[in-house]
């Protein structure tokens, strides 16, 4: 018998009995998929943040405050970027947002721990970051039109 550890859940592995192995494989799969990085609880403080979108060449957190944009560069800035998460599906940002330099005012709360927004998936395995769950937003500046003008010949 050997014990293996996946996330924080121990799994017992025995190399006999095929029925037992099928059950064990099922338990292992459930264990692996349930090891989603928890963001913790929502902080009590409701905040208003003005964030700018940063276009990274990865699936990293890509929203930063103006003060962080002035204070940090490169990887140092990446360490201070956050993810945003809508409180309701109807609050999902429009497709015209997500271009470098877009600015949005969000009202909401941070989660207590680093993690990923609800429904987030990536093949790149990025680092978790702070997640801001917003209940309202206002687009201050969208570079969608400028970006489209630059990409057309």
Which parts of the chain register pLDDT below 70?
1-37, 146-153
Both 13 and 51 in one domain: the answer is no
Both 24 and 57 in one domain: the answer is no
Q: Which helix (H) or strand (E) holds 77?
A: helix 74-78
Quick check: is 27 in a domain? yes
Contact 93, 51 (CB under 8 A): no
The total number of structural domains in the chain stands at 2
CA distances to 62, 100, 101, 142 from 71, in Å? 16, 18, 16, 23
Which structural domain, as residue segments, surrounds residue 26? 2-33
Q: Residue 104 and residue 109: Cα distance in Å, rounded? A: 15
Tens of pLDDT, residue by residue over 24-36, are 555 544 444 444 4
Both 52 and 14 in one domain: the answer is no
Return the SS3 of 61.
coil
Both 109 and 137 in one domain: the answer is yes
pTM above 0.85, yes or no: no
Tens of pLDDT, residue by residue over 53-68, are 999 888 899 999 999 9
């Amino acid at each position: 018998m050997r014990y293996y550890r996946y996330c924080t859940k121990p799994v017992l592995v025995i190399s006999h009995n095929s029925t037992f192995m099928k059950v064990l494989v099922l338990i292992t799969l459930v264990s692996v998929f349930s090891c989603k990085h928890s963001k913790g609880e929502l902080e009590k403080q409701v905040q208003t943040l003005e964030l700018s979108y940063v276009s990274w060449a990865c699936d990293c957190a890509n929203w930063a405050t103006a003060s962080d944009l002035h204070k940090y560069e490169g990887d140092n800035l990446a360490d201070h970027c956050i993810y945003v998460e809508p409180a309701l599906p109807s609050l999902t940002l429009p497709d015209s947002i997500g271009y470098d330099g877009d600015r949005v005012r969000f009202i909401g709360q941070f989660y207590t721990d680093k993690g990923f927004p609800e429904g987030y998936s990536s093949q790149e395995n990025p680092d978790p970051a702070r997640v801001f769950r917003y209940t309202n937003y206002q687009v201050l500046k969208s570079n969608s039109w400028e970006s489209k003008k630059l990409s057309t010949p």
